[in-house]
Amino acid sequence: MAKKWGQQMKNWLANSMNLPEDVMMDLPRITIIGQLHIYIENHRGLLAFSDKEVRLLLTKGQLLIQGHSFTIKTILPEEILLEGKIVKLMYLEG
């Protein structure tokens, strides 16, 4: 019950203060430019990196990015800019 109330409170705050939902609900913000660039904000860390796969930790689950020729252009504590050919983007729960 308390968890549900907490979520309702976050939703109300986001709506009443005109804050983006990704900020209030601790969700990642993902910006993809074609198949060549992906910029992810609000992640919790890099779990795995290769030229074919990137796995990021999220507050709830993981983000899996598959493709080829990946290079990390920018990496900060909660932001990453990845370049390469993006083939698949998948959210993994749990």
Q: What is the pTM for the complete model shown?
A: 0.76
pLDDT in tens, 64-78: 999 999 999 999 999
- Of residues 10 and 63, more confidence is placed in 63
Interatomic CA distance for residues 10 and 23, integer angstroms = 10
pLDDT for 23: 56
Domains of the chain by start residue, with CATH: 27-92 (2.60.40.2000)
Helices and strands in the chain, H and E counts: 2, 6
pLDDT in tens, 82-93: 999 999 999 999
